[in-house]
A and B are shown apart, each in its own frame.
Chain A
Amino acid sequence: MILPLSIHAMGTRFEFVLAGATEPSLRAVGEAALEEVQGWHAALSVFQPESMLSFINRTACDRPVRLDEDMWNLMSLCDRVHRDSEGAFDPTVGMVMQRLGLHPGDGADGPIGWADLVELDERERTIRLTHHGVRIDLGAVAKGFALDCSAGVLREHGVEAALLHGGTSSVIAIGSPPDRNGWTVSIRSAGEAIEVDLADRALGVSAPRGRIVACEGGSVSHVIDPRSEHSAEQVDTAAVVGSSAGVADAWATALVVLGGRPASMSDKLESLIHGQDGWVCSQRTCPQEVS
């Protein structure tokens, strides 16, 4: 049977399509996977004061904050992509987004720059912020990371075929639908769409024009270059395919900021970037464009 399940979380809709044998057990597994999303929504929201991330932003400058293994893995992921993307992916950029009116805020200002502001202690598994007013915002990676955790629950309980997405920009495919090589996902950018088949792979998509906010002197997109603190608008869309939706999400944002694929990006990650010259894809021929 095919069982669809969905919830609203992280300001968007998460939808899971599961293939399996009997409904009560499949629903129970699916709900456990959805609970992961709800849990991460509660933990990572910067708009809810009671979230773990708000606790970190509030407390970690006064004392190191202990992290559980999953939260540690998430922070380590951010640290790794920040380093490999030479600062193009930076979760402390939330303060700029607040300043530009992309995020609601209390008018407070604070520094940005992950490398100097965030200290991770692997031995103690703690995080410390070096300055007051730092605002870590994991909006660019949270959906994908939550999907990674959900997929982990599904796999742990033996689900062999499922498609999961959060707001259509973060996707994980487990196995394939019956008689298919993968779950076919269409990526549309400026009127040009391509299709990718995903099987046990994840996809992260970032489109700077996905959300535009009017401001003094024009408009800004929701992807900010942390180095210049201006909108990143060199490309229309960046998509990354890999084994982790969290990593794919983070790199998709980094590619929009960089305007192209850097040499430092792992060969294990596939990139599909749409700009003035149409789709440019790494590692293989671009999937066939569809109308």
Chain B
Amino acid sequence: MGRIFDRPLTRQLIGLAVLLTVWQLAANAGWLNPLYMPSPLKIWAALVQLFGSGSIWPHLAATFTAALGGLAIGVIVGVILGAAAAILPVIAELLEPVMILLNAVPRVVLAPLFVIWLGIGLASKVALSFILVAVLIFFTVYTGIRQVDRKLVERVITLGGGRGTLLREVYMPSVTAWVLGNLKVAVGFAFTGAVVGEFVAATKGLGYLLSFAQSTYNAALMLALVLVIMVFVLLIFAISEWLEKRLTRWRG
């Protein structure tokens, strides 16, 4: 019986339960202004309402579409540009300053611009997700290729390998490993892009619901939404971690 308390998870869960109880009791006692800090049960009720009525699904679908779309296009474009810059110095000269500038500012400042350019629909959210992810992947691939283990390259050459073999046996697996290593960060970025984009201007999505909750001073809904976003991002984290483990089993 004492065994179970030795595990960190058990202690963390107990801590959480204590926090929620104290929070609920403080709310019941009237110490917390319900307008700012709704009780855990109120937040739970908002969650039940969201899922029970089914009203959350179109918003979740919108956010996921924008995030995963931006993620996919961002990874593809980032890999292509990063590889091109690593192989052709001319492209590196042209792209590096742009990427450094894009990397220097918080890229979410582009959100209003994308709304002007692409409207308040899905496209502006995908674009924001895309730009967040593409810059990250560009640098991953660009610096990665230039740091490929020279010894591996030389070994493959002395075994009789040419350019094609180097690409297939050394560069592609290396690039895949780096991209997968950064996949979790990229997923986080993609969701940030989608939610912030929706927050700025949209008719659907979790970000839109957040902005709606803010304008109606509905703190319970807001906290419920934050919780939903956390759970779904953690879910995607788990999937990308599984994918990374599976595809880079050689790394152990």
Are A and B a genuine interacting pair, yes or no? no
